[in-house]
Structure 1
């Protein structure tokens, strides 16, 4: 039986390609934590996780001190058993962002290794529903941009073949949001989708007021209008507006998505594969949403989500935000506004290990030879 012998953990911090601001925060840096498992049969798999500027060192510590040692001597093919074991091993810190982000690094590495060994691309191994998914861009819609800048960048996205674009909302007064959105809508026409994202910045009263004002603009969705903990508020909002309500990037376990869906508190779920703990729980969320006739339109991490969206039938969009280009030898392939799932076995991410080594500021390995011998009982 094949066993995991060692786990390597690296961290590389990536600067955003453009200034990114929303209603409550700025994207400071993508703290990218990579995890590579090495197995007794010579096979390997690499996964990763991220933050937008805080918590990277905490994820590394949780992996190094508590989670990676639990992998030594395990069968890498046992996705579910490993995920459940690690989840309960860290039960005192779950459900929460740091634990889920750390679990994701491990789970994505397992899927990478196992699909490579099977000779299957991730999107086929996880379901194989369709080879491509529509894309929308978020790179031109940041909150600090003027109306004229929003128009220019959204028109550029339209010219590049995207089917939609996201615009951040949450300016101090409702009239500012409406004016910016109206200018963009007039410029791009009615057949181009506009998504808006409040990043949890509104109270219930303000969310109701702004959603009503946004209705004539025929938006694809209103994303994270309120804090994610407020299920009752989202249910009231969903029942009060024709604008679809999208939630999920600030939720960390399938059960949280289930509560929203049971309460009719959203129309779209946006599970982030890193923030929910990896591919194993992401697929559960996607299929739960499918059973409830709800679309999944995941948040960020397009390099992973293109394959996951291609795996399931109820995915509607892949969010385009390029971030890994400096660490990979290939980019997500976009054809006529659709993201095409990679055909290579594994996750489909071509890591540039020379660039990673040149930019890493953390590199630790768990699983010495002595530890491997002890696990095998030799």
Structure 2
């Protein structure tokens, strides 16, 4: 008798941050400080007693929408073969196609897609990295959580030195203020404090036009940065292309895109140097496998946004240069029983079965907003 999906449980969690953080979108008045992250979790159980876990996250508004649509998706998976992952991905998307083929429609698929891949790898008694094809045992990492704009540059430097001592390999700070020269001063101070050998990235969070980005970028070229991230709007393919050709500093973008298809214009145009597509945002592992294949074709740097716990084992399957973004927010709350191992600038790729993550149920009970079960 073939395996089938017998039971699905989904949970909505609210994860508060220790202190609100602000990037350029806040400084320029487009958003308010980020205070919390919402997570929709899915636990899929099969008739033979196996269990798979997956999740999607949302910053600011939208988390309840992801969860609400996930509640509509879940019954469609009951009695299905859990190995038919691609077919089930399409089945869920077609069930909600009237609201589009990206954004929440795709992101609500993510927790189920990841849970199904988790199940498949566990059934094979492999980590997800081994299942997909491992290239790397360790992956370079950089920290972002200490580089937001609400902190003075002296605080940012202190944060950077602390996290470097804890094992991070690079530091990213936020730029994109109304006066780009203030951004340049912050970068100059950070480079002076950390020395020439520490990798530094900067992120403008879409707050410049092309002209301003060119002016700022020519100053920033002097500081040997790993990349300049989202210098212009997330959907300005031509603007990113122009900047990638005009500046010495590599251009990174892609985190705001909400489907693989939205990323195709960037890949087809080769409009960036560093691909930051986010697996949870574009629909999970099924879609991210496509990203890996296309980036290998073009020999791009692969540096997915956020979600280090998930992206770490995925980018280890990439035969090229990679970075993983270190955000310790989930670790500080203890959401997962497992922790990322970080030392000497590298994260160790886990070899636990599946995606290698399990929920800390004591913490989950404290953070849970709602839950639902389907049989």
Question: Are residues 1:360 and 2:368 paired?
Answer: yes
8 Å Cα contact 2:201-2:225 kept in structure 1: yes
1:310 CA drift (Å): 1.2
**Which deviates more, 226-235 or 274-283?**
226-235
Query: Who is 1:335 aligned against?
Result: 343
C-alpha distance in structure 1 between counterparts of 2:13 and 2:262, whole Å: 30
Query: Who is 2:119 aligned against?
Result: 113
> Equivalent of 1:307, from 303, 310, 313?
313
8 Å Cα contact 1:221-1:243 kept in structure 2: yes
> How big is each residue's C-alpha offset from its partner over 1:78-119, in whole Å with a ceiling of 9 and x where there is no partner?
111111222222222233321222111111111111111111
Query: Who is 2:168 aligned against?
Result: 162
8 Å Cα contact 1:272-1:298 kept in structure 2: yes
C-alpha distance in structure 2 between counterparts of 1:322 and 1:103, whole Å: 25
Seen in structure 2, the aligned counterparts of structure 1 residues 315 and 360 have a Cα distance that, compared at 3 Å, is: farther
8 Å Cα contact 2:140-2:346 kept in structure 1: yes
C-alpha distance in structure 1 between counterparts of 2:222 and 2:321, whole Å: 26
C-alpha distance in structure 2 between counterparts of 1:16 and 1:272, whole Å: 21
> Equivalent of 1:40, from 27, 44, 47?
47
C-alpha distance in structure 2 between counterparts of 1:350 and 1:60, whole Å: 19
> Equivalent of 2:237, from 231, 235, 238?
231
1:313 CA drift (Å): 1.7
8 Å Cα contact 2:143-2:325 kept in structure 1: yes
Question: Are residues 1:205 and 2:211 paired?
Answer: yes
C-alpha distance in structure 2 between counterparts of 1:323 and 1:249, whole Å: 18
C-alpha distance in structure 2 between counterparts of 1:113 and 1:263, whole Å: 36
**Which deviates more, 220-229 or 323-332?**
323-332
8 Å Cα contact 2:177-2:207 kept in structure 1: no
Question: Are residues 1:221 and 2:227 paired?
Answer: yes
C-alpha distance in structure 2 between counterparts of 1:292 and 1:157, whole Å: 32
> How big is each residue's C-alpha offset from its partner over 1:314-373, in whole Å with a ceiling of 9 and x where there is no partner?
251110001222212221111222111111101111321232134312111122xxxxxx
1:286 CA drift (Å): 1.4
8 Å Cα contact 2:4-2:47 kept in structure 1: yes
8 Å Cα contact 2:168-2:342 kept in structure 1: no
**Which deviates more, 107-116 or 17-26?**
17-26
TM-score, length of structure 1 as denominator length: 0.93
8 Å Cα contact 1:204-1:237 kept in structure 2: yes
Query: Who is 2:22 aligned against?
Result: 21
1:125 CA drift (Å): 0.9
8 Å Cα contact 1:221-1:244 kept in structure 2: yes
Question: Are residues 1:122 and 2:128 paired?
Answer: yes
> Equivalent of 2:287, from 281, 293, 315?
281
TM-score, length of structure 2 as denominator length: 0.94
SS at match of 2:296: helix
C-alpha distance in structure 1 between counterparts of 2:133 and 2:15, whole Å: 32
C-alpha distance in structure 2 between counterparts of 1:284 and 1:80, whole Å: 12
8 Å Cα contact 1:150-1:180 kept in structure 2: no
C-alpha distance in structure 2 between counterparts of 1:102 and 1:68, whole Å: 10
**Which deviates more, 90-99 or 333-342?**
90-99
> How big is each residue's C-alpha offset from its partner over 1:138-184, in whole Å with a ceiling of 9 and x where there is no partner?
12110122121122222223333322100000122121001110000
C-alpha distance in structure 1 between counterparts of 2:132 and 2:19, whole Å: 33
